[in-house]
Amino acid sequence: MPELWMPGATRLDIGDHAPTDGGPAKAIAHITWDRNATATKPADLVPYETLRDYFGRNPSGKATAPHILWDPFTGRVTQFVPADSRSKSLADKAGGTRTNRAGRVVLQVEAVFFPYCRVSSTVYAKLTDSPCKGWAELNSWIRSWGVSDTWPMGKPVDFTSRRSEAVWEEKGGWYAHAHVPENDHQDPGSWPAFVGAPAPKPTTPAAKPTVDLSRLAAAAKTDPPRSGVPVSYSGVKTVEDALVKEGLLAKPLADGHFGTATRIAYAAWQRRLGYSGTDADGIPGRASLARLGAKHGFTVTN
């Protein structure tokens, strides 16, 4: 089971834990936006400690606390409730979707940030302009709870609100505060790219079937007069399937018995390659079989 408390985060448990409702796992991206600033009038960033104490110790702050407070300038993280509990950062109107509970987990992250905040004389217009320290670890922990690295309503690139209750109910992944039904906030405006996702495992190509020429030829010589022989050699079925794909053998006759119909079909394959007379007698030879195998994905031995 994933860790209920993010490794490396400061734990400041505010209590009041409550279960979620189940469903697709979600994470919600917020910014604190505790001051209004502009490009012409920036403002100093509110200290991380101030916001930590507000959510962790002030009764009003506890009533709206997220799971995680994240400082993108230092990488510090404080967690207020365990991952399997709902938190309360989303507006939740009576009678509608239970926004804070609508998933196996609904992990809410508040980045300590507002547009045009000033830190050490540098002004940051967007969250993604900040160092985003600690994001890789935070992203990894949230991913461990089954939250996919996707934005069902689109990655936030501005402060445009886009809300769909149907998408919210049905799809897991990351949502901006601006995406959540019953809410009117427009944050976070931007969010860092996902990092450290496990690389997809390379697909190992399936091994090609192998057909033994000597055993196949023996079946072609001995099977036709023997009725009711089920499967004389497994490689026969591989060749028959190729002949079916060539349109030379009816599919019901591809039964693993190199009978008269299969021999006639193979003779037709030989003639298609330009053979005639005794060279097109339906007994597989190396050259004709290798051509069939190259076309239909099997190799020839012996």
CATH number of the domain enclosing 157: 3.40.80.10
- Which of 137, 161, 179 is where one domain is finished? 179
Residue 240 and residue 114 share a domain: no
Q: Which two tokens stand for residue 227?
A: 């009725």
Phi, psi values for residue 119, rounded to 5°:
-135, 120
> Are residues 103 and 172 in contact, defined by beta-carbon separation less than 8 angstroms?
yes
The answer to whether residue 2 sits within a structural domain is no
Residue 217 and residue 165 share a domain: no
- Domain span including residue 263: 210-301
Residue 216 and residue 161 share a domain: no
Give CA–CA dist 215/234, Å, rounded: 10
Give CA–CA dist 125/36, Å, rounded: 12
Q: How far apart are the two ends of the chain, measured CA to CA in Å?
A: 53
Residue 236 and residue 116 share a domain: no
Give CA–CA dist 76/44, Å, rounded: 18
Residue 232 and residue 83 share a domain: no
Residue 245 and residue 174 share a domain: no
Contacts of 142 (CB under 8 A, 6+ apart): 27, 107, 109
CA 60 to chain CA centroid, Å, is 38
CA Rg, the chain, in Å? 33
The answer to whether residue 63 sits within a structural domain is yes
The answer to whether residue 109 sits within a structural domain is yes
> Are residues 3 and 137 in contact, defined by beta-carbon separation less than 8 angstroms?
no
Residue 63 and residue 15 share a domain: yes
The answer to whether residue 288 sits within a structural domain is yes
The answer to whether residue 191 sits within a structural domain is no
Quote the pLDDT of residue 34.
94
Give CA–CA dist 78/253, Å, rounded: 69
Identity of the residue numbered 265:
A
Give CA–CA dist 173/26, Å, rounded: 5
Residue 156 and residue 221 share a domain: no
**E-assigned strands of the chain?**
10-11, 26-31, 43-44, 68-70, 77-79, 106-111, 117-119, 122-124, 173-176, 210-212, 299-301
CA 108 to chain CA centroid, Å, is 21
Residue-level pLDDT, tens digit, the chain, 302 residues:
799 999 999 999 999 999 999 999 999 999 999 999 999 999 999 999 999 999 999 999 999 999 999 999 999 999 999 999 999 999 999 988 999 999 999 999 999 999 999 999 999 999 999 999 999 999 999 999 999 999 999 999 999 999 999 999 999 999 999 999 999 999 999 999 999 755 556 667 778 899 999 999 999 998 887 766 567 788 999 999 999 999 999 999 998 989 999 999 999 999 999 999 999 999 999 999 999 999 999 999 98
The answer to whether residue 205 sits within a structural domain is no
Phi, psi values for residue 17, rounded to 5°:
-75, 150
Residue 140 and residue 39 share a domain: yes
Number of domains in the chain: 2
Residue 53 — left, alpha, or beta (φ > 0 → left; ψ -120 to 50 → alpha)?
A: alpha
Quote the pLDDT of residue 194.
96
The answer to whether residue 196 sits within a structural domain is no
- Which of 156, 179, 202 is where one domain is finished? 179
Residue 131 and residue 40 share a domain: yes
> Are residues 82 and 5 in contact, defined by beta-carbon separation less than 8 angstroms?
yes
The answer to whether residue 204 sits within a structural domain is no
Give CA–CA dist 186/178, Å, rounded: 4
Q: b or e along 175-199 (b: 16 or more beta carbons within 10 Å of the residue's beta carbon)?
A: bbbbbbbbbebebbbbbbebeeeee
Q: How many CA atoms lie within 13 A of 218 on its CB side?
A: 10
Quote the pLDDT of residue 1.
78
- Which of 179, 195, 224 is where one domain is finished? 179
Looking up tokens 């400041």, which residue turns up? 12
> Are residues 42 and 126 in contact, defined by beta-carbon separation less than 8 angstroms?
no
Residue 171 and residue 253 share a domain: no
Residue 36 and residue 124 share a domain: yes
Quote the pLDDT of residue 230.
63
